[in-house]
A and B are shown apart, each in its own frame.
Chain A
C-alpha cells in the first residue's frame, strides 16, 4: 500500500492526471504481487515472514523515493467527491452514503463482485480449492502455482488501489509511513469477516463507525480520556476477533507452500 500510495501520488503530482496515478498504483501493486508470489509460491518461503519483510521493504522504499524524488510534503488534487443525483440529497443518509469519491463507490461495488467470483464461478472454486486442499486440486488438474500467482497479484493490485485511495483521494498528499499500519487492520478484518466479502465489509464499516464515533465524542466534549477514546476501535477489533476467530473458517492451506507430492 505504501509503495502504491507513493506511485499514485508521484504520478498525479507530475502529470495532474488522477487516472494515470491510479494506473501507476495498480501496476506497482502488480509488481509487488509478482515479487510476493515469486518468494512465497516459487521459492516457497514462509509467507508470514516474507510478508513482514515485504512490508518493511515497502516502508523503506517509499520513504526513500519520497525523499529523493519529492523531498517535502506537497498536496495534489485527487479524486473529488461525486454526489449521486437524488440519492445524495436525502437528509443525513445522502451525505453518508452517496457523496464520495469514485474509489469509495468502487470499493462497495467490489463486495458483490468478489462474492460472485468466489462463490459462483469455476475460477472462484479453483481459488478456494488451492486454499483448502492444494494436493486434491492438483490431482484434478488445477495448476496450483498459477492460481496462487494470479490470486496474489489480483489482491496486490487491489491493495494498490487502496494505497492510491489514501494518497490521491482521501488525503491528497504523501508522507512517510502514510498508511500507519492500516494494512494490518485490513488483514484483521478478513478474519473478523469470516473470510466472506459481506462479512469483511460489515467489519470495515463497524471499525470505521467506532473510529468516527470516538472522534465525535472528543469533538462534542464527552468527558472521557482521549487515550481511552482512540483505543476503542482497536479494543473492538480485538474483542470481535476473540469472539469470531474460532468460527471463522480460514483456508486450511493458508500460509502453507505447496510442493507436489507432499501433503
Chain B
C-alpha cells in the first residue's frame, strides 16, 4: 500500500533528521578535559522543588568553576521509573563520567548494584545516608525537619482560623520529615492548633494535590504547606482561593504566588557538591555521607520579600533558626 510506505518513509526521515540535530547538551572543549558530571532526576529540572534544587546547585557550581570548559554537565530528568533511571546511571558511568548523581531515594538499589562495576567513577545519591560500604559512593540527605519546624512556627503565628492543612505525596523520606518538623514547630507555638494531613500517594499527581488543598481550605484551613513537585497544584489552589497562606520547601516557591507564599525552606546542595568535587580531586571517590542542615548552610529559609511578614513572626522564626543552629532546639525527624 503506497500510502503506508509514504507514511513510514516520512516517519523514518523525521527520525533521521531528529537524530542529526545536535543535542542541546553542554559542549566541551576537547583540549581542556573538564570534570564530567551527570545527574539523573525523578522530575523536571523546572519542578520548583526537589529536582530543581539539585539542578540549580549544579549550574551554580559549574559557573563558579569557570563554566562549561571546566565542568561538563549532562542531565536526565523525569525518571520516575526506576529501571529507566538505572539504565541512565549505567550509561553515564559507561561513558566515562567522573561523577554520577542519582538524585532520588528510590535509586539506592540501582546505585548499590552499578557502583561496584565502575570503581573509578564517583556516585552520589540521596536522599539517604547509606553508602552501602562502597568506597565510590557518597550519600546525602537533608534534615528537612529543621526548615519544617521554622515554617511551622510562622504558620502557627499567622493562622487566624487555627486550622492548618498539609498536603504531602507519600509518607517517606524528606517529605515525611519536613512535615513532622512542621507539626513540631506548630505545637511549639500553640498545641491547640489543628494540623490536618493528607497524602496523595503520588509525587507527581498535581490534580489530586490540588483537590487535597481545596479540601483543606473547605475544612477551614487558612495556612497550607506541603512537599514534592506536585505541590504547585496546592499553591495554585491557595492562590485562587485568596487569603490562604503557603509555606514551601525544597526550592524557593515564591515566584509561583508572591502574594501568598510566606517563606520556603531551600535545599542548597552547592557546598556538598563542591566538597565532593574537591575530595574526588584528592583521590577520595566516596564512602561518606552528607546531611544538609541549617547550621552548615545546606538548608536556608528564604523569606518572600513580596510578602509583608509581621516583625514578631520574623523575629520568632529567626530565634528558632538560631536555636536549632546552636542545639537549644531539638527537632525530631
Is B a genuine binding partner of A? yes
A interface vs B, CB < 8 Å?
A: 38, 42-43, 63, 66-67, 71-75, 166, 170-173, 175-180, 182, 211-212, 215-216, 218-221, 226-227, 229-231
Q: Of B82-90, B97-105, B228-236, B282-290, which binds chain A?
A: B228-236
Query: Which residue of B is nearest A74, CB measured?
Result: B256
A63 CA / B78 CA spacing, docked (Å): 9
Residue of chain B at shortest CB distance from A233: B208
Q: B216-248 toward A: CB 8 Å interface, digit per residue (1/0)?
A: 100100000000011011011001100000000
B303 within 8 A of A: no
15 pairs, CB–CB < 8 Å, chain A vs chain B? A42-B3, A67-B44, A67-B46, A75-B239, A170-B207, A170-B210, A171-B210, A178-B206, A182-B207, A211-B208, A218-B198, A220-B219, A226-B171, A230-B200, A230-B208
Q: Give Cα A176–Cα B208 distance, bound, in whole angstroms.
A: 15
Residue numbers in B under 8 Å from A216 (CB-CB) = 215, 219
Question: B120 near A: Cβ within 8 Å?
Answer: no
User: Which of chain B's residues have a CB closer than 8 A to the CB of A221?
Assistant: 196
B196: nearest chain-A partner, CB-CB: A219
Q: Which has the most chain B C-beta neighbours within 10 Å: A74, A215, A231? A: A215
User: Knowing A166-B207, A226-B199 touch, does A43 contact B4 (C-beta < 8 A)?
Assistant: yes
* Measured CA separation A73–B202 after assembly (Å): 18
Of A63, A74, A216, A230, which is in contact with the most chain B CB atoms at under 10 Å from its CB?
A230
**A168 to chain B: closest CB distance in Å?**
12
Q: Which 8 A-B pairs have the closest CB atoms?
A: A230-B201, A226-B199, A72-B46, A218-B198, A180-B205, A215-B215, A219-B196, A176-B44
Known: A67-B46, A75-B236. A180 touches B256 (CB 8 A): no
Whether B152 is near chain A, meaning CB under 8 Å from some CB there, is no
A229 to B208, CA, bound (A): 13
**Per a CB cutoff under 8 Å, which of B52, B216, B233 touches A171?**
B233
Q: Does B204 interact with chain A (Cβ within 8 Å)?
A: yes
Contacts of B210 in A (CB 8 A): 170-171
Query: B249 contacts the other chain (Cβ, under 8 Å)?
Result: no
**Chain B positions 1 through 41: 1 when the CB is less than 8 Å from some CB of chain A, otherwise 0:** 00110010000000000000000000000000000000000
B108 at the binding interface (Cβ < 8 Å): no
B198's partner among A63, A171, A182, A226 (CB-CB below 8 A) is A226
- Chain B residues with Cβ under 8 A from A180's Cβ? 202, 204-208
Rounded to whole angstroms, the CA-CA distance of A204 and B123 in the bound complex is 46
Q: List B249-280 residues whose CB lies under 8 Å from chain A.
A: 255-257
Residue of A nearest to B212 (CB): A215
How many Å from the CB of A65 to the closest CB on chain B? 13
Most interface-central of A73, A75, A175, A211 (chain B CB within 10 A): A73
Closest A residue by C-beta to B52: A72
Q: B residues within 8 Å of A by Cβ? A: 3-4, 7, 43-48, 52, 78, 165, 171, 196-202, 204-208, 210-212, 215-216, 219, 229-230, 232-233, 235-236, 239-240, 255-257
Q: Which of A66, A72, A215, A227 contacts B211 (CB 8 A)?
A: A215
Interface centre among A42, A212, A219, A227, by most chain B C-beta atoms within 10 angstroms, is A219
| Chain B residues positioned under 8 Å from A226 (CB to CB) | 171, 197-199, 201
The docked-state distance in angstroms from the alpha carbon of A63 to that of B44 is: 9
Which residues of A sit under 8 angstroms from B204, Cβ to Cβ? 176-177, 180
**B229 contact set on A, CB distance < 8 A:** 175
Q: How far is the CA of A219 from the CA of B219 in the complex (A)?
A: 8
Residue contact B201 to A175, C-beta cutoff 8 Å = no
Q: How far is the CB of A245 from chain B (nearest CB, A)?
A: 25
Rounded to whole angstroms, the CA-CA distance of A238 and B120 in the bound complex is 49
Q: Judging by beta carbons under 8 Å apart, are A171 and B206 in contact?
A: yes
Are B236 and A173 within 8 A (Cβ)? yes
Assess A73 versus B232: contact at CB under 8 Å? Given A180-B202, A182-B207, A215-B198: yes
Q: Inside 8 A of A176's CB, which chain B residues have their CB?
A: 43-44, 47, 78, 204
With known contacts A175-B44, A226-B171, A43–B215 Cβ distance under 8 A: no
Q: How far is the CA of A177 from the CA of B230 in the complex (A)?
A: 11
Residues of B within 8 A of A171 (CB): 206-207, 210, 233, 236
Which residues of B lie under 8 Å from residue A73 when comparing CB positions?
46-48, 232, 256
Residue of B at shortest CB range from A177?
B204
Closest residue of chain A to B216 (Cβ to Cβ) is A219
Question: Min CB distance, A131 to chain B, in Å?
Answer: 24
- Judging by beta carbons under 8 Å apart, are B212 and A172 in contact? no
Cα-based distance from A180 to B197 in the complex (angstroms)? 22
A residues in contact with B240, CB < 8 Å: 172
CA gap between A222 and B230 in the complex, in Å: 24
For residue B232, give the distance in angstroms from its CB to the closest CB of chain A.
5
| Chain B proximity of A257: nearest CB distance (Å) | 12
In the complex, the answer to whether B212 meets A173 with C-beta atoms within 8 Å is no
In the complex formed, the residue of A with least CB distance to B235 is A75
Rounded to whole angstroms, the CA-CA distance of A166 and B328 in the bound complex is 46
Assess A72 versus B207: contact at CB under 8 Å? Given A172-B240, A219-B219: no
Complex: A177 Cα to B235 Cα, angstroms: 18
Q: In the complex the two chains form, what is the Cα distance from A75 to B233 in whole Å?
A: 10
Cβ of A172: which chain B residues have Cβ within 8 Å of it? 236, 240
Contacting residues, chain B, for A71 (C-beta < 8 A): 46
Nearest CB of B to A210, in Å: 12
B205 — which chain A residues lie within 8 A by C-beta? 180
Closest Cβ of chain A: how far from B191's Cβ, in Å? 15
Q: How far is the CA of A186 from the CA of B80 in the complex (A)?
A: 23
**Nearest Cβ on chain A to B176's Cβ, whole angstroms:** 11
CB of A232 to closest CB in B, whole Å: 11
